């Protein structure tokens, strides 16, 4: 595997040292490693292990510099044949994100800090997988950055046990205690509270050395000057040594009697704690962030409250006075490091995440239209799953249509939108797009092919977006195909989109997935109507939709059909939504046949179970027609203003009835006469029903 790590710089620090350690591990396991940074002291360590380093200003927050660095990183990715780009800080992450988009390279981040949730930090949560060094950081990324928990991978930082060999407490100097603090000199690291604590310690144990290892940022030298003032004020001038940045950290920590971590903010992890514990130096640390993942209080170290010099001093004195306690703490800590925090474990787990990242494909299917259209998409969803069995596949679906596929076994999840209310307008669309970006999709398959769906495809930031070049803002897709001049069925029309992904879909049957509870509900309502098991039922759907009144078969024709069915010893069953209740009431007045009335009494999945009880189902071009096709019941399909060639669902046993008149299909939702539907007689529908019943016997 060819791995590129990108970080701001390579001076002494936890992130930087961890990068070098991981590089060493990867190289030892026959992987190629490249590192990009602004340089630093640790570049020499990379060169010793034959890791190539590119010196680039990837630390600068200048927009122009970042744009230039994207181009440079693209060159490196291509020339080095990089497969995984691992960013370890925010500016490098922005640069890496766009470079990976251009090169179609896997992108991953490690969140080394407790980031403030603003725009600059958002990119840290964008990859498909996000590495966090501690539970605290993982929880922060989930709660503050909305990173789904299933995309978080917790890999604690480690220590190279070959560099930090255990020396134990026996090698410590007996005539003088050494207490040290290691880390960049910034206010958040708590140096001032450490000095206040040490002022109390030296009054009890005067034979003391205090080492401050680390330097302030180059642009903030005043931080060290402030500490020097405190040293004089607390009377610690004879005790304190500022050692600056050092390359011999293991040796220095090994000589300490106690290492202190005084951080006052949410520490991401605390690598220096591991380094101290590895060499056998007891640790006193503040109870912040990921520190609690490392230290078990009074077992592997001592935890104190942040900004509490008195408590810190008490803990330091306790360890220095009690040699048995010190031995117990370091012995327990070393054992825990070997079990949970070794470089071998971190390297192995990181490689597993890389392999998972390279193999995981996140796919979004967009189908935000009507219920019937969503059912028509089930063959495409099935084909996508069969082609990509290990992919994470989600479907963006409308609120009113979600029932049709909420139990779909081919999907890993649904993303439900409400374009009529919550997600309405530009503001709602942008909010929905933010939600989509949380999933870090690799590909979007737009089966809706509308302006809204094309816009959402683009705003999802998926690098691959598939759909039709239909003039409805289809320029937002980067994989488009022209409309076929031939008239295609809805399923065949969708299959053409799948061909761009190398999917050869042939099985066009529809599916729907009712539950046992849905079946039991239908059985119960049929029992209340005293339906005999052998009684022949024929379902009749009353209407199409409120928007498409022209699709509806006139109620007088439905009433006539009900009368004819009863005379033929067939029990009619009428179905519909709650909106159709007035129509049902009117129909019942027109016919003495008294059909079974289940209008407004079923969900779409319960309707599927009810239709399965019927020998034949009669419907205009509507969602129930698609449901009947999905459950395999023979269909009599009535078409008028729309074309059956374009809208008839895939079915095994069906008869289409359509009047050949000059104005049909017109695709008009309103019409004064609707002769195309009026001219479909009850007698010819009955004849079609009887043919299907005979055929199915």
The 10s digit of each residue's pLDDT in 285-296 is 999 888 888 999
More confident residue, 173 or 22: 22
Whether the predicted pLDDT of 276 surpasses 90? yes
Q: Could you tell me the pLDDT band of residue 547, with boundaries at 50, 70 and 90?
A: confident
> Measured between alpha carbons, how far is 91 from 6 in angstroms, rounded to an integer?
10
Q: Helix crossing, 378-387 with 490-499: angle to 10°?
A: 30
Mean pLDDT of 136-157: 91
User: For residue 465, is pLDDT > 90?
Assistant: yes
Report the relative pairing of strands 302-304 and 283-286 from DSSP bridges.
Answer: parallel
Mean pLDDT value of segment 267-277: 84
Q: Is residue 512 classed as helix, strand or coil in its secondary structure?
A: coil
> Is the CB of residue 201 less than 8 Å from the CB of residue 179?
yes
CA 271/CA 409 separation, integer angstroms: 44
Determine the average pLDDT of the residues in 426-442: 91
Element at 223 (helix H, strand E): helix 222-233
Tokens representing 429 are 């669309």
Question: Which of 127, 164, 175, 167 is CA-nearest to residue 148?
Answer: 127
Share the mean pLDDT of the chain.
92
Q: Say if CB 188 and CB 264 are below 8 A apart.
A: yes
How many C-beta atoms lie closer than 10 Å to residue 350's C-beta? Answer: 22
Q: Which band of pLDDT confidence, cut at 50, 70 and 90, is reported for residue 267?
A: confident
Q: What is the pLDDT of residue 312?
A: 97
- Tell me: pLDDT of 489 over 80: yes
pLDDT for residue 27: 95
Domains and CATH numbers, the chain: 2-154 (3.40.50.2000), 169-341 (3.40.50.2000), 361-499 (3.40.50.2000), 516-696 (3.40.50.2000)
Q: How much of the chain, in percent, has pLDDT values that exceed 90?
A: 72
pLDDT of residue 270: 80
- pLDDT tens for 571-618 read 999 999 999 999 999 999 999 888 999 999 999 999 999 999 999 999
How far is Cα 284 from Cα 332, in angstroms, rounded to an integer? 14
Residue 169: the pLDDT is: 62
- Average pLDDT, stretch 309-331? 94
Region 271-292: mean pLDDT is 91
In contact, 642 and 559? CB cutoff 8 Å: no
* Alpha-carbon 671 to chain mean position: 47
């Amino acid at each position: 595997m060819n791995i590129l790590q990108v970080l701001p710089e390579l001076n002494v620090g936890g992130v930087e040292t961890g990068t070098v350690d991981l590089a060493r591990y990867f190289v030892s396991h026959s992987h190629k490693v490249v590192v990009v940074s602004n340089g630093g002291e640790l570049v020499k360590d990379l060169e010793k292990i034959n890791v190539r380093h590119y010196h680039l200003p990837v630390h600068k927050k200048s927009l122009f510099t970042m744009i230039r660095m994207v181009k440079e990183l693209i060159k490196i990715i291509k020339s080095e044949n990089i497969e995984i780009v691992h960013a370890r800080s925010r500016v490098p992450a922005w640069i890496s994100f766009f470079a990976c988009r251009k090169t179609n390279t896997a992108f991953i981040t490690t969140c080394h800090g407790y980031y403030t949730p603003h725009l600059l930090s958002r990119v840290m949560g964008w990859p498909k997988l996000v590495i966090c060094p501690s539970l605290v950081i993982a929880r922060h990324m989930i709660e503050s950055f909305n990173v789904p928990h299933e995309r978080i991978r917790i890999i604690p930082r480690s220590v190279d046990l070959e560099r930090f060999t255990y020396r134990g407490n026996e090698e410590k100097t007996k005539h003088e205690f050494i207490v040290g603090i290691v880390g960049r000199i910034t206010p958040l690291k708590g140096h001032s509270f450490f000095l206040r604590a040490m002022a109390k310690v030296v009054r009890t144990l005067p034979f003391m050395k205090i080492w401050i290892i680390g330097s302030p940022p180059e642009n903030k030298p005043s931080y060290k000057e402030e500490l020097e003032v405190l040293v004089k004020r607390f009377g610690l001038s004879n005790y304190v040594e500022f050692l600056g940045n050092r390359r011999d950290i293991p040796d220095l920590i090994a000589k300490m009697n106690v290492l202190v971590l005084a951080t006052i903010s949410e520490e991401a992890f605390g690598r220096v704690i591991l380094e101290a514990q590895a060499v056998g130096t007891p640790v006193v640390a503040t109870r912040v962030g990921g520190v609690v993942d490392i230290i078990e209080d009074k077992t592997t170290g001592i935890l104190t409250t942040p900004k509490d010099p008195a408590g810190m001093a008490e803990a330091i004195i306790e360890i220095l006075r009690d040699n048995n306690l010190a031995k117990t703490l370091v012995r327990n800590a070393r054992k825990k490091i070997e079990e949970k925090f070794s470089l071998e474990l971190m390297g192995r787990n990181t490689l597993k995440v890389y392999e998972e990242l390279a193999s995981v494909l996140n796919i979004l299917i967009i189908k935000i239209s009507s219920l019937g259209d969503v059912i028509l998409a089930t063959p495409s969803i099935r084909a996508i799953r069969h082609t990509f069995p290990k992919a994470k596949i989600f479907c963006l679906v409308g609120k009113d249509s979600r029932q049709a596929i909420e139990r779909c076994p081919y999907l890993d999840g649904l993303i439900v939108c409400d374009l009529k209310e919550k997600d309405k307008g530009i503001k709602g669309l942008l909010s929905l797009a933010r939600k989509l970006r949380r999933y870090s999709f690799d590909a979007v398959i737009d089966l809706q092919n509308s302006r809204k769906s094309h816009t959402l495809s683009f705003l999802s930031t998926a690098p691959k977006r598939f759909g039709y070049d239909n003039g409805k803002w289809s320029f937002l897709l980067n994989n488009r195909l022209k409309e076929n001049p031939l008239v295609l069925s809805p399923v065949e029309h969708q299959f053409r989109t799948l061909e761009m992904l190398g999917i050869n879909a042939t099985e066009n049957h529809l599916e729907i997935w009712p539950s046992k509870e849905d079946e039991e509900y239908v059985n119960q309502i049929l029992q209340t109507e005293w339906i005999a098991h052998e009684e022949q039922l024929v379902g009749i759907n009353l209407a199409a939709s409120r928007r498409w009144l022209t699709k509806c078969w006139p109620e007088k024709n439905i009433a006539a059909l009900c009368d004819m069915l009863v005379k033929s010893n067939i029990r009619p069953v009428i179905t519909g939504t709650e909106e159709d209740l007035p129509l049902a009431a009117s129909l019942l007045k027109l016919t003495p046949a008294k059909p079974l009335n289940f209008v407004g009494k079923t969900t779409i999945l319960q309707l599927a179970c009810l239709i399965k009880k019927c020998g034949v189902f009669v419907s205009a071009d509507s969602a129930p027609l698609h449901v009947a096709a999905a459950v395999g019941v023979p269909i009599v399909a009535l078409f008028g203003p729309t074309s059956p060639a374009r809208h008839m669902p895939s079915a095994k046993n069906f008869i289409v009835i359509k009047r050949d008149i000059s104005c049909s299909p017109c695709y008009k939702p309103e019409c004064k006469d609707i002769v195309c539907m009026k001219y479909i007689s009850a007698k010819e529908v009955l004849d079609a029903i009887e043919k299907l019943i005979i055929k199915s016997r």
